Amino acid sequence: MRRTLIERELTEEGPRRAGSARGKKRTVTVNIAESPLSWLHARGHLDDRLFDAGERLRADYERAQVGPNLTMRWDPVKIRGQGGDAGLTPTERQLAAKERFDGALREAGRGLQDILWHVVCACESLPDAEKALQWPARSGKLVLKLALDRVADFYRIR
């Protein structure tokens, strides 16, 4: 799978409270370009299989252009050698990605599609997704793992 390199921007943020329990002020380096899936994977909360499934789902989401976008096409007219869809036109590639994306969400099931969309496609953090879905705190990680496991089965990731 071809991965696109993203320029990372690091910022330092202070704590949300006035200080820690000992009264010392702390700063944290935050990578604002890092996706929630990358964050969970880097800290050992998601194994490689689940992370790859989430990245495949996001790639299909972006290729299918399901989200809001510009009406102008900026890519070149003829595209050569892009993966398994090399012989397809841009429109056919988009339709194939939409079909895979819809199939992956169907495989996840109705109750798990919401967390996948919030975290994987919209790149919301788990606490923000839990709040948006009106779930109890710290319940999203378990549900996300279940959803990504089903998506990994759909994409046949071992």
CB atoms within 10 A of CB 101: 21
- pLDDT for 13 equals 54
Q: Report pTM.
A: 0.71
Cα distance between residue 26 and residue 34, in whole Å? 21
Average pLDDT over residues 24-32: 69
Q: Are 136 and 108 in contact (CB under 8 A)?
A: no
pLDDT over 90 at 18, yes or no:
no
Q: Output the pLDDT for position 89.
A: 84
Element (DSSP H or E) covering residue 135: none
How far apart CA 147 and CA 120 sit, in angstroms, is 11
Please say if the pLDDT value at position 6 is more than 50: no
Above 70 in pLDDT, residue 129? yes
- pLDDT band at 75, cuts 50/70/90? low
User: Which residue has tokens 């006035």?
Assistant: 18
Please state, in angstroms and as integers, the Cα–Cα distance from residue 151 to each residue in 47, 62, 134, following that order: 14, 16, 23
* Statement: residue 37 has pLDDT above 90: yes
